[in-house]
């Protein structure tokens, strides 16, 4: 795994204190409206305000899941470190989605950007608006393929399985590697 940057390189968020521990996080990002490449780039840039991003997967083009009458997605996974609590990170992610034009009209419908927290340290958490690890991570190739690319040995704290083991249990149909650069 890549080494962490120095403390001085980590952007500070409101309410952030250097005495807080750094948390390892894995985030999934997707986009299927507008300039998908630009949307993902901008989302990553905004995330860097609160996440010291270490690893970013390749871009994968994928079929939509759930609501099928919509364009194909570009999907990536990134890993980094944050001083934010899980709920604070979720709020940042949702704020970024709104800033980039996301409006929830149809569940799993088209969107300029979607940001999901996949893993947060080894936390297992269920709240009103946040479940960690992501509750459908283990069944989504569009999440597991890029996750395995950057962290095949990271473990799902619920099942104890590695990302690679989770991926071996599902089909990878509809997940296509691209030459798109971010």
Q: What is the pLDDT of residue 69?
A: 84
- Tell whether 146 is covered by a domain: no
22: which residues sit within 8 A by CB, 6+ positions away?
Answer: 4, 10, 52, 81, 82, 83
Which segments of the chain does DSSP mark as H helices, in order? 36-47, 86-99, 141-150, 163-168
Q: What is the pLDDT of residue 6?
A: 35
Site of tokens 């570009």: 74
Q: What is the pLDDT of residue 21?
A: 64
- Cα–Cα distance for residue pair 144/156, rounded to 1 Å: 11
Q: How many residues does the chain have?
A: 182
Domain that holds residue 41: 21-136
Question: Which residues carry out catalysis?
Answer: 102, 111, 114, 116
Q: Is the pLDDT of residue 5 over 60?
A: no
- Tell whether 15 is covered by a domain: no
Mean pLDDT of 11-36: 75
- Cα–Cα distance for residue pair 84/138, rounded to 1 Å: 25
- Tell whether 3 is covered by a domain: no
Q: Which of 49, 70, 72 is nearest to 61 (CA)?
A: 72
- Tell whether 6 is covered by a domain: no
- Tell whether 9 is covered by a domain: no
- Give the count of domains, the chain: 1
- Tell whether 69 is covered by a domain: yes
- Tell whether 115 is covered by a domain: yes
Q: Is the pLDDT of residue 86 over 80?
A: yes
- Cα–Cα distance for residue pair 140/155, rounded to 1 Å: 16
pLDDT tens, position by position, 106-130: 666 678 899 999 999 999 999 999 9
Q: What is the pLDDT of residue 108?
A: 67
- Tell whether 2 is covered by a domain: no
Higher pLDDT, 181 or 20: 181
Q: Any idea what the CATH number is for the domain that residue 113 is in?
A: 3.30.70.560
Which tokens hold the place of 167?
A: 């991926």
Which tokens hold the place of 40?
A: 């993902």
- Cα–Cα distance for residue pair 47/50, rounded to 1 Å: 6
Q: What is the pLDDT of residue 109?
A: 63
């Amino acid at each position: 795994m890549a080494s962490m940057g120095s403390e001085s390189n980590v952007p500070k968020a409101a309410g952030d204190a250097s005495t807080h521990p750094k948390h390892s996080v894995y985030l999934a990002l997707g986009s299927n409206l507008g300039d998908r490449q630009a949307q993902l780039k901008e989302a990553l840039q905004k995330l860097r305000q609160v996440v010291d991003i270490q690893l970013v997967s390749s871009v994968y083009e994928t079929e939509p899941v759930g609501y099928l009458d919509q364009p194909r997605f570009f999907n990536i996974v990134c890993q980094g470190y944050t001083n934010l609590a899980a709920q604070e990170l979720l709020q940042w992610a949702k704020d970024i989605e709104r800033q980039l034009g996301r409006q929830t009209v149809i569940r799993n419908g088209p969107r300029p950007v979607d940001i999901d927290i996949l893993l947060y340290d080894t936390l297992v958490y269920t709240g009103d608006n946040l479940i960690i690890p992501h509750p459908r991570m283990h069944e989504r190739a569009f999440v597991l393929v890029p996750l395995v690319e950057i962290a095949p040995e990271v473990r799902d704290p619920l099942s104890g399985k590695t990302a690679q083991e989770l991926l071996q249990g599902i089909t990878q149909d509809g997940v296509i590697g691209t030459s798109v650069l971010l």
